[in-house]
Amino acid sequence: MKVSDGFVLSELDQLITASNKLQIISEQKIITTELIVKAVEIRNKSFSTAIGAPKIPTVKWSDVGGLEDVKKAISESLKANLKVNSNNSKLKRSGIVLYGPPGCGKTLIAKAVANEFNITFLSVKGPELLNQYVGQSEQNLRMIFEKARLASPSIIFFDEMDSLAPNRGNAGDSGGVMDRYVF
């Protein structure tokens, strides 16, 4: 079943338990596909809350005006990756870079992708990662990727990256943090 792709054995066990509870509540004789899908949705919602994933508005492809080539390229890439992952093969593409001036729709597209493909969405502002203490900025970045791995499949949307990419070697920041980050 596609909604449970990537679940480990303990998660499947929890899914069966949740489906049984929903069956009892709804007074149905058997566990239906709808009950399983509902149990997965409840699990994903509680999991997103537990890892601190932000609540995002329901944005659909139809809300994104124009940008047909971008929507097509992203859809094809994600469909190929999800298909490859279901066959336990290597991932073809691990990321997509959206670039452009402020207000061109990068955030809107990322949110629409997360909703259309039912993928966890983690939004990170560039300056949130920085910390004046040695090693703390790197720890912040590791934690973001750890959250994304736990909520796999997921989208990490790094916003305001321009604030993290000044000229290297100036060491005018807190202990050279900017020189240790590599993009």
Interval 101-136: pLDDT, tens: 888 888 888 888 888 887 778 888 877 777 777 778
Give the pLDDT score at 129.
Answer: 77
Alpha carbon 127 to chain centroid distance? 19
Peptide bond preceding 153 in cis form (omega within 30 of 0): yes
Cβ-based neighbours of 120, under 8 Å, separated by 6 or more: 44, 47, 48, 53, 114, 148, 151, 152, 153, 154, 155
- CA dist 102 and 109 (Å) reads 13
CATH topology of domain 61-180: Rossmann fold (3.40.50)
Give the pLDDT score at 74.
Answer: 83
Give the pLDDT score at 31.
Answer: 84
> Band of the pLDDT at 91, cuts 50, 70, 90?
low
Q: Number of H helices and number of E strands within the chain?
A: 7, 2
Q: Where are the domains of the chain?
A: 2-51, 61-180
- The answer on pLDDT for 95 being more than 80 is no
Which residue is it, tokens 């992708």? 113
